[in-house]
């Protein structure tokens, strides 16, 4: 890759106390790419996302956004630098309205420039957030909440979007909505790092999918591997 | 008519306690910290009133607000912020330490001032201790002021929380601080805003309490805050509204029990000497029946027990 990647993890190691969670992980996500990160439970996928967003502490290595290190920054500073996370379990503010959830999404933006435009685009992508704007987010269905969580991340106008198992617990039709939205998000130039359990769909969708087991990068898969179930299973069992 | 007067006085004290409860609840919301040193913010604001006693009332009140806000922000900066990631019990003990430090600092200054009596007079707004007569009803202005400032302060706070960006951020932070930060909510800004508002409320409480007591001592605000803490926990500390109602309820109860029961009596529970026993008994019963708090919304499972 000749140009600077949007997001780059360089020899990243993370541990919880003395227990290593991620070991010497290096990966790069180019601008406008969708990169998948799959692997069994406990492989370190969520930990990796938490470390990028400074919710977990890096033990060694470097994380760079458009070439500059973001290590040591606070979570809010990383959000303001242009990385948005759609957390596992959605983490919407159930007691606030859908509108207030979206207003919070805009908090990290520098000025008003582009806010209206992004807002309109997000409402086109997920019409439910406009339809139910005045409702409390907690009364939405799981699928609607997930759409709100992604919409909330997108109104921040991020350059990099991280998603932590966005399809978890969703009905198949909603999973389609989410995966289709990811393609449109890429079309808009947003770089996507997708952590998923749905291995095959992720491999098919992403430009590249990394397989993480036991905190180590085992394999890189491309969409050509999507139908090679055996190879995906083998990658999971490689530990 | 004496009962109506007692009820109005009780609402007045309830309003002051509600303000203290909000001050404690706001900080708890963003820091998950019960600030035992909140009473000492009230004490500092009251000393500001005493030391500016010769100033015009408005200037004196402004000084009290500035002192309480500054003290609250300093407290956050030097004690709460370095301990933010520490164990909750560490932070709790730190607020105890602060409380005793400030109380004893207030005590020690009398030695340096060679002031024979512990306590300073406060004349600010003393005219409000007079009663207004409505028909056969005699109500002290300070009770009316307490109810009025309580209502206005709570309404202003509701506007701040519901209509402004920083208010939205404060609400989000008290619900899920981690997620709020992921959206770009600045932890320090939100905490400082909450702590500053808590300081303003401490000053307002100090002004109203000082009119009634007409003096300040190192323990000013201490007992009020202890009672409010009990009320806040009994009401439900998780929510600002339930905490406020808890504070109001305990203030109301203390005032009404104190006024309605005779000041002496042989039989237990027939005089207001037993007031703390009565109040704490009610709190025990309330917590046994509703462990999450009297005014908490949650149903079963809102409090986990082993």
A-B contacts at Cβ under 8 angstroms:
61
Among the partner-chain residues A87, A95, A108, the one whose CB lies closest to the CB of B179 is A87
Whether pLDDT at B199 is above 80? yes
Residue B180, chain A, CB below 8 Å: the answer is yes
Instruction: Please report the pLDDT score of residue A2 as a whole number.
Output: 54
Q: How many CB atoms within 10 Å of residue A67? A: 10
Instruction: Report helix, strand or coil for B207.
Output: helix
Question: Å from A235 to nearest chain B CA?
Answer: 32
Please give the ipTM for the structure prediction. Answer: 0.92
Q: Provide residues of A within 8 Å CB-CB of chain B.
A: 53, 55, 74-76, 79-80, 84-85, 87, 91, 93-96, 100, 103-105, 107-109, 152, 156
The nearest CA of chain A is from the CA of B235 a distance in Å of 20
Distance from CA of B149 to the nearest CA of A (A): 28
Residue B274, pLDDT above cutoff 70 = yes
Report the alpha-carbon distance of residue A55 to residue A48 in Å, rounded. Answer: 10
C-alpha distances in angstroms, A205 versus A22, A181, B152, B206? 25, 11, 56, 63
- How would residue A231 be classed by pLDDT, with cut points 50, 70 and 90? confident
- Mean pLDDT for chain B? 90
Distance from CA of A233 to the nearest CA of B (A): 34
Asked whether the beta carbons of residue A76 and residue B187 sit closer than 8 angstroms, the reply is yes
Those of residues 11-40 in B touching chain A at CB distance below 8 A are none
* Predicted confidence band of residue B194 (pLDDT cuts 50, 70, 90): very high
Binning chain B into helix, strand and coil, the percentages to the nearest 5 are: 70, 5, 25
Q: Which residues pair with B133 in a beta bridge?
A: B138
Share of chain B above pLDDT 70, in %: 95
Contact yes or no for A163/A88 (Cβ under 8 A): no
Task: Residue window 139-168, chain B: list those with CB within 8 Å of chain A.
Answer: 165, 168
How much is the pLDDT for B118?
Answer: 86
3-state DSSP assignment of residue A78: helix
What pLDDT does residue B281 have? 84
Question: What's the CA gap between B98 and A194, in Å, rounded?
Answer: 47
Give the up-direction half-sphere exposure of residue B277: CA atoms within 13 A in the CB hemisphere: 7
pLDDT in tens, A154-194: 999 999 999 999 999 999 999 999 999 999 999 999 999 99
pLDDT above 80 (res B125) = yes
**Residue A229 burial by Cβ neighbours in a 10 Å radius (0-12, 13-18, 19+):** exposed
CA distance A224 to chain B (A): 35
% of residues, chain A, pLDDT over 90 = 82
pLDDT above 50 (res B304): no
Residue with tokens 């500390």: B237
Task: For residue B178, list chain A residues with Cβ-Cβ distance below 8 A.
Answer: 55, 75, 91
pLDDT value at residue B127? 86
Q: Where are the domains of chain B?
A: 2-221
- Among 3.40.50.300, 3.30.420.10, 3.90.230.10, 3.40.800.10, what is the CATH number of A7-237? 3.40.50.300
pLDDT (tens digit, 9 = 90+) per residue, B19-73? 999 999 999 999 999 899 999 999 999 999 999 999 999 999 999 999 999 999 9
The pLDDT of B129-152, averaged and rounded, is 90
3-state helix, strand, coil in chain A (%, to 5): 40, 25, 35
- The DSSP line for B73-114 is HHHIIIIITTTTTS-HHHHHHHHHHHHHHHHHHHHHHHHHHT
Verify whether the Cβ–Cβ distance B175 to A95 is below 8 Å: yes
Alpha-carbon torsion, ordered B38, B91, B230, B68, to 10 deg:
10
Residue A12's DSSP bridge partners are A25
Q: Is residue B171 within 8 angstroms of chain A, CB to CB?
A: yes
Average pLDDT, chain A: 93
Taking the Cβ of residue B185 and every Cβ of chain A, the question of whether any pair is shorter than 8 Å is answered with yes
pTM for the model: 0.90
The verdict on B73 touching A (C-beta cutoff 8 Å) is: no
pLDDT at residue B44, rounded to an integer: 98
Who's near B20: CB < 8 A, 6+ residues apart? B38, B42, B201, B202, B205, B224, B225, B228, B247
pLDDT at A239: 52
């Amino acid at each position: 890759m000749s140009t600077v990647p949007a997001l780059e993890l360089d020899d990243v190691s993370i541990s919880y106390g003395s227990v290593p969670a991620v070991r010497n992980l290096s990966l790069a996500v180019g601008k406008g790419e969708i990169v998948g990160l799959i692997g069994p439970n406990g492989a370190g996928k969520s930990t990796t996302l938490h470390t990028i967003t400074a919710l977990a502490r890096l033990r060694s290595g470097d994380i760079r956004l458009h070439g500059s290190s973001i290590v040591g920054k606070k979570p809010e500073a990383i959000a303001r630098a242009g990385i948005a996370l759609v957390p596992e379990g959605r983490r919407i503010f159930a007691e606030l309205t859908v509108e207030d959830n979206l207003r919070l999404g805009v908090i990290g933006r520098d000025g008003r420039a582009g806010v209206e435009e992004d807002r309109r685009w997000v409402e086109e992508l997920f019409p439910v957030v406009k339809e139910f704007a005045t409702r409390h987010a907690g009364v939405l269905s799981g699928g609607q909440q997930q759409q709100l969580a992604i919409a909330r991340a997108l109104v921040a106008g991020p350059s990099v979007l991280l998603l932590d198992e966005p399809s978890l617990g969703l009905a198949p039709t909603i999973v389609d909505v989410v995966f289709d939205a990811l393609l449109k998000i890429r079309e808009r130039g947003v770089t996507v790092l997708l952590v998923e359990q749905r291995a095959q769909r992720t491999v098919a969708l992403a430009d590249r999918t990394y397989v993480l087991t036991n905190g180590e990068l085992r394999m890189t898969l491309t969409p050509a591997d999507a139908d090679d179930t055996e190879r995906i299973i083998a990658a999971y069992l490689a530990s | 008519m004496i009962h109506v007067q007692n009820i109005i006085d009780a609402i007045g004290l309830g309003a002051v306690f509600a303000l203290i409860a909000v001050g404690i609840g706001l900080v708890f919301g963003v820091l998950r910290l019960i600030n035992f040193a909140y009473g000492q913010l009230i004490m500092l604001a009251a000393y500001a009133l005493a030391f500016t006693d010769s100033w015009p009332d408005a200037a004196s009140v402004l000084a009290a607000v500035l002192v309480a806000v500054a003290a609250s922000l300093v407290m956050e900066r030097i004690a709460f912020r370095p301990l933010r990631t520490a164990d909750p019990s560490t932070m709790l003990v730190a607020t105890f330490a602060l409380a005793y430090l400030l109380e004893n600092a207030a005590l020690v200054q009398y030695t340096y001032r060679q002031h024979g009596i512990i306590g300073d007079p406060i004349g600010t707004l003393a005219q409000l201790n007079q009663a207004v007569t409505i028909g056969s009803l005699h109500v002290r202005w300070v009770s009316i002021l307490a109810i009025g400032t309580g209502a206005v302060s709570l309404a202003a706070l509701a506007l701040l929380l519901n209509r402004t960006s920083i208010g939205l951020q404060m609400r989000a932070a008290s619900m899920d601080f981690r997620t709020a930060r992921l959206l770009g909510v600045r932890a320090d800004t939100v905490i400082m805003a909450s702590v500053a508002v808590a300081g303003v409320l401490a000053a307002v409480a100090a002004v109203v309490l000082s009119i009634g007591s007409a003096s300040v001592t190192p323990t000013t605000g201490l007992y009020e805050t202890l009672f409010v803490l009990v009320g806040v926990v009994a009401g439900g500390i998780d929510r600002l509204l339930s905490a406020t109602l808890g504070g109001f309820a305990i203030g109301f109860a203390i005032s009404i029990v104190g006024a309605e029961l005779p000041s002496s009596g042989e039989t237990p529970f027939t005089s207001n000497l037993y007031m703390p026993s009565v109040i704490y008994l009610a709190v025990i019963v309330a917590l046994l029946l509703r462990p999450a708090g009297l005014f908490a919304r949650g149903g079963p499972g809102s409090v986990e027990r082993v």
